Amino acid sequence: MARKADEPLVLGIETSCDETGVGIVRGHTLLADAVASSVDEHARFGGVVPEVASRAHLEAMVPTIQRALKEAGVSAKDLDGIAVTAGPGLAGALLVGVSAAKAYAYALGKPLYGVNHLASHICVDQLEHGALPEPTMALLVSGGHSSLLLAPDITADVRPLGSTIDDAAGEAFDKIARVLNLGFPGGPVIDRYAREGDPDAIRFPRGLTGPRDPAYDFSFSGLKTAVARWIEAKRAAGEEVPVADVSASFQEAVVDVLTRKAVRACKDEGVDHLMIGGGVASNSRLRAMAQRRCEDAGIILRIPRPKLCTDNGAMVAALGAEMVARGRAASSWDLSADSSLPVTEPHVPGHDHGHGHSHDHDHFHELSKDNLYS
C-alpha cells in the first residue's frame, strides 16, 4: 500500500470506557470528532458499570462511525488506515471497538493499528499545538489514570516515570462528589463549586510529597479519607458543610501535587515542554496553576481544549496517523483487546513485521489476564 509520508488520513475508534468515540484526522489536522457517551446511564450507579458501557458501545458503534465520516466530509475508501484503542481499559468495552475496527479495516482493505489509550491521550495534542516535541513530558490525569510519562517517540518509546499508587485523580473527584452528594461524574461539579470557595480554607494533606517519598508517584487515597473525615465531623457536630470551601480546598490539594511533581519531572529530565491530558486536564484550577508554575520554571505548557482531553476517537486517530507517517507495522487480524496493555507499548504491531497483516495463525498467543466474561 502506498504510504503518504506526511499527512495520512486516519479514522480512530475509542471504546475503552464509557465514551464511544470516532475521530478522523489528516496528519495533525482534526476533521471529525464524534462521541456518543453513556455517562448518564452510569450516573445513578456513581461510577461506570462495565456491562452497561459495553452494551451502549455496541448500539452506538456503527452510527458514530457514519457520523464521523459525514462530519469529516471524506470517503471511507480514501482512508490510509484504521486505528483503535487496543488497551488499557474495560475488557468488554474495548472488545466492541476492536471488533468493529477490524471489520471496518478488513472490509475497506485498509491497515489496522491497535494503539495504546495513554499514548493517544498524549498524541492528541498534535491536533491542537502541532508536532510533539521530542522528548515530550506528559502528565495524564483522568478517572482511570494519573501518570507522569516521558515519551522520546510517541509511536515507539514511552517511559513511565511515576503513577498513582492508589486512586486516580479523577476517581478522587468522583468520591468526594459522592460524599458531598453532588452526583457523578464529580470533576466538573467540584470545579464549579470550587470557583466560589476559598482554596486555603482547609489545609488538606498533600500525598507523597515528603522528602523520602517517590518523586513522581501520586497518592490520593489519604486525601480522600481526610476530606471525608472532615465532612463527617462537621455533620456530626450538626454544622452545615461549606461545600464551596471543601471543594476548593480539596481541588487545591490535588492540583498542587500534580503540578508540583510534573514541573519537578521536567526540571529533573531537562525537558522544556509539559503536556497535560486526560479528563482532569479540563479542570480550570489545574490549567491555571500549571500555567503559572510552568511560566515560573520557563516551561512551555501544552494542554488541548477540554473536548480533546476527555476520551475521544480523535486522539486514537492522531496516534494512528503518526504510526502511518512513521511507517510502523500494522496490527494483525487477530489483534486482541488487552485490558492491561502496558504504557510502554504505544501500539500492538502484527507478528509478521513489514508485511502488515499476518496470515499465520499458528503462533503462541497469550491470553489477557482478565477473563473477558467476568
Partner 1 sequence: MLLLALDTATPAVTVALHDGDSVVAESGEVDARRHGELLLPAVDRVLAEAGRKLADVTDIVVGVGPGPYTGLRVGIVTAATFGAVLSVPVHGLCSLDGIAYAAGQAGLTGEFVVATDARRKEVYWARYADPRTRLTEPAVDRPAELTEKLAGLTAVGAGAVLYADAFTDVRADLPQHQSAAALASLAAEKLRTGGEFLPDQPLYLRRPDAQVPANYKVVTPK
In the list partner 1, Zn ion, none, the entry touching 347 (Cβ below 5 to 8 angstroms by class) is none
- What minimum distance in Å lies between the beta carbon of 14 and Zn ion? 8
Give Cα separations from 300 to 133, 263, 293 (angstroms). Answer: 11, 11, 10
Q: Is 143 annotated as a binding residue?
A: yes
- What minimum distance in Å lies between the beta carbon of 142 and Zn ion? 5
Query: Which residue, 126 or 142, has its beta carbon nearer to Zn ion?
Result: 142
In the list partner 1, Zn ion, none, the entry touching 306 (Cβ below 5 to 8 angstroms by class) is none
Contacts of 173 (CB under 8 A, 6+ apart): 143, 185, 186, 187, 190, 251, 254, 280
- What minimum distance in Å lies between the beta carbon of 242 and partner 1? 18
In the list partner 1, Zn ion, none, the entry touching 233 (Cβ below 5 to 8 angstroms by class) is partner 1
Binding residues vs partner 1 (CB under 8 A): 44-47, 49, 51-52, 54-55, 58, 61-62, 65-66, 76, 91-92, 95-96, 98-100, 102-104, 106-108, 175, 178-179, 225, 228-229, 232-233, 236, 333-337, 359, 361, 365, 367, 371-373
Q: Is 141 annotated as a binding residue?
A: yes
Query: Which residue, 80 or 174, has its beta carbon nearer to Zn ion?
Result: 174
In the list Zn ion, partner 1, none, the entry touching 55 (Cβ below 5 to 8 angstroms by class) is partner 1
Q: Is 112 annotated as a binding residue?
A: no
In the list partner 1, Zn ion, none, the entry touching 99 (Cβ below 5 to 8 angstroms by class) is partner 1
Q: Is 117 annotated as a binding residue?
A: yes
Query: Which residue, 212 or 369, has its beta carbon nearer to partner 1?
Result: 369
Q: Is 283 annotated as a binding residue?
A: yes
- What minimum distance in Å lies between the beta carbon of 87 and Zn ion? 11
Q: How many CB atoms lie within 10 A of CB 99?
A: 18
Binding residues vs Zn ion (CB under 5 A): 142, 311
- What minimum distance in Å lies between the beta carbon of 138 and Zn ion? 12
In the list partner 1, Zn ion, none, the entry touching 49 (Cβ below 5 to 8 angstroms by class) is partner 1
- Reduce the secondary structure of the chain to three states and give it as a string: CCCCCCCCEEEEEECCCCEEEEEEEECCEEEEEEEEECHHHHHCCCCCCHHHHHHHHHHHHHHHHHHHHHHHCCCHHHCCEEEEEEECCCHHHHHHHHHHHHHHHHHHCCCEEEEEHHHHHHHCCHHHHCCCCCCEEEEEECCCCEEEEEEEECCCEEEEEEEECCCCHHHHHHHHHHHCCCCCCHHHHHHHHHCCCCCCCCCCCCCCCCCCCCCCCECCHHHHHHHHHHHHHHHHCCCCCCHHHHHHHHHHHHHHHHHHHHHHHHHHHCCCEEEEECHHHHCHHHHHHHHHHHHHHCCEEECCCHHHHCCCHHHHHHHHHHHHHCCCCCCCCCCCCCCCCCCCCCECCCCCCCCCCCCCCCCCCCCCCCCCCC
Q: Is 311 annotated as a binding residue?
A: yes
In the list Zn ion, partner 1, none, the entry touching 45 (Cβ below 5 to 8 angstroms by class) is partner 1
- What minimum distance in Å lies between the beta carbon of 374 and partner 1? 9
- What minimum distance in Å lies between the beta carbon of 121 and Zn ion? 6
Annotated binding-site residue numbers for substrate: 140-144, 174, 187, 191, 283
Annotated binding-site residue numbers for Fe cation: 117, 121, 311
Annotated binding-site residue numbers: 117, 121, 140-144, 174, 187, 191, 283, 311
